[in-house]
Amino acid sequence: MLYNRSLMPGKPSRTIQVVSHGPSCLDGVMAAAAVARFYDSHKVFTTLAGNNDADHVIQNLTLKSDDPSDENEIWITDLSWNSAATGAHLVELNERGARIYWIDHHRTAVSRADAPEFKVPFAGKVLSEQYSAARLTFNFLKRMGRDLPERQRAVFEAFQPFVMIADDHDRWIHKIPESSEWALAVQTLGGSSSYREILKLREPRMSRKLRTAFESGQDAMRRSVELAHATMVDRKLDNGITVRTACCFGYSSEVAAHLYKGQTRTIVALFDLRSQGVSLRRSSDCDVDLSILAQHYGGGGHAAASGFALPDLRRLPAERLAEILGDRLEKSADPG
């Protein structure tokens, strides 16, 4: 959990808890940073959670203060949850005085907006595929801040170029040339460290630490692409779709772009040995809704980019290695 505090004298005490998509998602990091920038004069605690950790992280949220004079807010950005128990816990926190906000842009969240686990008395909620979560969060906060003093509002609104970088990359617009570099830097440095670096910046120019991470990330991404090509398997389905699977070590979006380049009607499924999750991507002409496919395995995302975790996959390399070595050893021991 990350914590930043810069209390201004005379201001009422307010505690903000942010749970955003991570651990190394540029959009999730920028969404969390937008909230922290807006509440720069208050206590902000931030946790970056993967999709499969969302229920656990949210259910473990507690109010930082039971003092009635303290204001508690919980912001969940770029992330949803699956368990009814999670929704019940949020209701309980609300009954104890917490104001709860939820902003997400994943199709699996938008399509399930009326599910029982989301029956929470939110103080604010935005579910839309129109923009990235960072941009949706920034726009929502900008509306909230209309009555702020002009100087304070200007400081927050100066964060917009950061948000547009995240929006440009997350929606694969790529009209901002450096957006891919920011995504690569955040993946390499890690969400928590990147979040802290971004909050120090006043203009969207990478700090030395972020720039160094980007440069080292280029080499790490190259190795991940090489691993994917070395482990790639194609399976042609009767309906004409090709399922292309491979292993990678981080940088799944960038690796997938290499694997579906020039392909037609192809779904790329990458098992990320670093995150232990599966990332789904598709070629531009493929109309399979990957969010539905991922949801079948307890994950989610967008029509063209989704992910999930499948614990059984973690054992497969070890099981295959046991078969290979076992066969060799049995042959060696065979006197014939």
For residues 227 and 38, give the distance between their C-alpha atoms in angstroms, rounded to a whole number. Answer: 41
Query: According to the model, what pLDDT value does residue 16 have?
Result: 97
**Residue 318 in tokens:** 């070890």
**Residue 173 in tokens:** 């617009």
Q: Do residues 162 and 204 touch, judged by C-beta distance below 8 A?
A: yes
Helix axes 133-144, 150-157, angle to 10 degrees: 170
For residues 333 and 200, give the distance between their C-alpha atoms in angstroms, rounded to a whole number. Answer: 63
Query: According to the model, what pLDDT value does residue 336 have?
Result: 56
* CATH number assigned to the domain with residue range 2-206, chosen from the 4 options 3.30.70, 1.10.10, 3.40.50, 1.20.144: 3.40.50
Residues 6 or more apart whose CB falls under 8 angstroms from that of 288 comprise 241, 267, 282
Query: Which residues of the chain does CATH 3.10.310.30 include?
Result: 224-316
pLDDT at 68 exceeding the cut of 90:
no
pLDDT at 10 exceeding the cut of 90:
no
- Mean predicted confidence (pLDDT) in 118-138: 98
Q: What is the pLDDT of residues 76-123, one digit of tens each?
A: 999 999 999 999 999 999 999 999 999 999 999 999 999 999 999 999
Q: Do residues 46 and 18 touch, judged by C-beta distance below 8 A?
A: yes
Q: What CATH number labels 224-316?
A: 3.10.310.30
Residues 6 or more apart whose CB falls under 8 angstroms from that of 56 comprise 49
Q: What is the pTM of this model?
A: 0.88
Query: According to the model, what pLDDT value does residue 41 have?
Result: 85
Query: Which residues of the chain does CATH 3.40.50 include?
Result: 2-206
Query: According to the model, what pLDDT value does residue 158 have?
Result: 97
- Mean predicted confidence (pLDDT) in 208-226: 97
- Report the range of poorest mean pLDDT among 31-35, 133-137, 256-260, 296-300: 296-300
Average pLDDT of the chain to the nearest whole number: 93
What percent of the chain is modeled with pLDDT above 70? 95
What is the dihedral angle through the alpha carbons of 166, 184, 305, 25, rounded to the nearest 10 degrees? Answer: -60
Q: What is the DSSP string of 62-110?
A: --S---TTSEEEEEEES-----HHHHHHHHHHHHTT-EEEEEE--HHHH
Strands of the sheet with 242-248, listed across from one edge: 233-236, 242-248, 266-272, 277-282, 305-308, 300-301
